[in-house]
Chain A
Amino acid sequence: MAETASTGGDLHLQSLTKQFGSFVAVDDLSLTIPQGSFFALLGPSGCGKTTTLRMVAGLEEPTAGRILIGADDITDTKPYRRPVNTVFQNYALFPHLDIFENVAFGLRRRGSKNVKQQVDDVLELIELGHLARRKPTQLSGGQQQRVALARAIVNHPSVLLLDEPLGALDLKLRRQMQLELKRIQTEVGLTFVHVTHDQEEAMTMADTIAVMNNGRIEQLGDPASLYENPVTTFVANFLGQSNLVRARVTSRSGEHLTVDVQGTTFTMPRARCTSESDDIWMGVRPEKIQVNATAAGANTILGTVTDTSYIGVSTQYLVQLGFGQELTVVRQNDGAPILRPGQEVYLSWEPAHTFGLDARQDAKAGVEREEGELVPAGDAS
């Protein structure tokens, strides 16, 4: 089967759509994933991440749209002919085969030469060579995860799909595996499409992140630009935290935008406001806000501390503004005294750290609740 040899090339999704009955799970999704990049699909539960991956793997038939690798249209190619391999959400290791045979499965199906050498090499890479003759059930979760990864990368696919492969691991092992995954990706140089709903995971690992919501891509970019320049309230809230305050644009002069918030004037770079309307959400990240005892400089507003939570490396405050809204402020614990509830403080931030979003959007979109549930996420899968 020579058709599975890796041909290289970028992965293109063109207007990909998947409907289950009348429910649209993936909605007109278009993407280009450059060859050799580490790409993360990030989104809340049920937003269509798995469905997207399954369409790329050929396990789900798209309702509309095309999938291409390089110039090859693989939309109608059978899964066993696609140069794509998947690390499944639950690993899906073959319970009746030992680790060696699990990893060798793809090679044997393609009639590869020197299977033993290749399997040994990849087991070496994931540091599990000594467990080659164990059955999957005799391995720990982290080890199984590495086997699932080895079983996929040993085939040198053009694209490797990873569906929340770290979801079942505890936090510490997860951080460790993230580094390991990143190392392996750099080492083997394959295109990784990594699905996750953990934003920290996406930020630390990926070159490019696509934030997905309700079957659509909300925003695409490298981690820093997504974080610094969210273009929707969903992205602003889902990637980290944001303070969104309703503001009215009073003037647009040159590079700057002046807005009015209940009588206080703020400025922000015009380029950081994605809305042309006069009603906007003015956004600022909690760690960008300075806390001062006296009014100093531009973008300053008076507030009262209502809540203090000490997190060790930093302290998070809730500060209530004169008109009732509370802002979240995060301060490094660098020795400055901890503020007490009831204390009056002046909040200020650089105009450059302010961003503006269209006010017609829901300010609470993508806000994470205590248990990690998301407010407008659609159905859980």
Chain B
Amino acid sequence: MTATVHVPGGSMPAAPVEPRKRRASKVPYLLLLPGVAWLLVFFVAPMIFLASQSLQTGSIEQGYALTWHIGTYGDALSAFHSQLFRSFGYAATATVLGLLVGYPLAYTIAFKAGRWKNVLLVLVIAPFFTSFLIRTLAWQTILSSDGPVVGFFRATHLMDLLRSLHLVAGNDLLSTPFAVVMGLTYNFLPFMVLPLYASLERIDIRLLEAGGDLYARPFTAFRKVTWPLSLPGVVAGTLLTFIPAAGDYINSKLLGNTSTTMIGQVIDGQFLRVLDYPTAAALSFTLMLAILVIVAVYVRRAGTEELV
């Protein structure tokens, strides 16, 4: 790295500082103020509230009091660890599937679409014009037992394949792990495609020509030039898919069954039905920390191996 000396406000320490310059240098901080306030009110404060709640004991009738009872975490984890791991499993699968579907899509839009580029991009985000809930409900219809998708799966023995992989139990697609993962993949696909598109679109086509000129066949040129240069988009897209997918509770609720319960569903239930706030808060916190660790490890690996 080159050593750059950054002096806040842009004035060199040795140079005589005029008062006017001083005042000007405060402007960036003033501009930051709304953002910082927003973070404090809507992120830091709820976080503290949640943390304190996870350390309280009591019941909904007698009220909760802060007793620093760390044991709630252990109890919650031993009761719900399978849902937690399942969530990460589903989210990871949906992320990989999203990448497999999204990369070719983004690649095509960026390099091959020509004047259809903008139309295709609008189509990618078109699902956002209806609500998340409605879109997921639509999948119930799509995957229903008498629908064409199920018919196709049954006719082509894909159903048998899924059954042998334990992704479906009977002869239906709805209310199975398969349906949940499909729902997650579908719902978060735009979050995968858009960052991928942004980084692919920035690649200078002449670099690919240079690759070809230097004896790289098209596939090698992709592997050695396009793919490494699109990695920032891959990292961004996978994070934007994995993180919300891991905490999602709509897809597993509407498309799954009792054995596909994800951690988001558990938290939702503990907060709103069981009214066991400490457990719900402890699970929320655990989920957040786990995601943080996974993301940190992932970014690190991606960062050191390819991006630098």
Question: Which chain A residues have a beta carbon within 8 Å of chain B's beta carbons?
Answer: 1, 4, 57-59, 78-81, 84-86, 88, 90, 92-96, 105-106, 109-110, 138, 151, 155
Contact = CB atoms under 8 A, between A and B. Distances in A.
Interface of B, secondary structure class, is helix
B113 interface: no
A138 B2 CA distance: 8
Contacts of B61: none
A151 B214 contact: yes
B210 A86 contact: yes
Contact of B206 (A1, A78, A88, A110): A88
B167 interface: no
Given A57-B213, A80-B216, A88-B206, A105 B2 contact: no
A94 B215 contact: no
Contacts of B2: 138
Closest 4 CB pairs of A and B: A106-B214, A109-B215, A92-B210, A79-B212
B36 interface: no
Q: Contact size class for B?
A: 20 to 34
B162 interface: no
Nearest to A4: B215
Nearest to A111: B215
15 contacts: A1-B215, A58-B212, A78-B212, A79-B212, A80-B214, A81-B215, A88-B210, A90-B206, A92-B206, A92-B209, A96-B229, A96-B307, A105-B224, A106-B215, A109-B220
Contacts of A78: 212, 217
Interface of B: 2, 204, 206-207, 209-217, 220-221, 224-225, 228-229, 306-307
From B206, B214, B307, residue with most partner A Cβ within 10 Å: B214
B229 A105 contact: no
B1 to A, nearest CB: 9
Contacts of B207: 92, 94-95
Nearest to B307: A96
Nearest to A103: B214
Contacts of B306: 96
Contacts of A109: 214-216, 220
A84 B2 CA distance: 36
Contacts of B221: 80
Nearest to B229: A96
Contacts of A58: 212-213
B215 A155 contact: yes
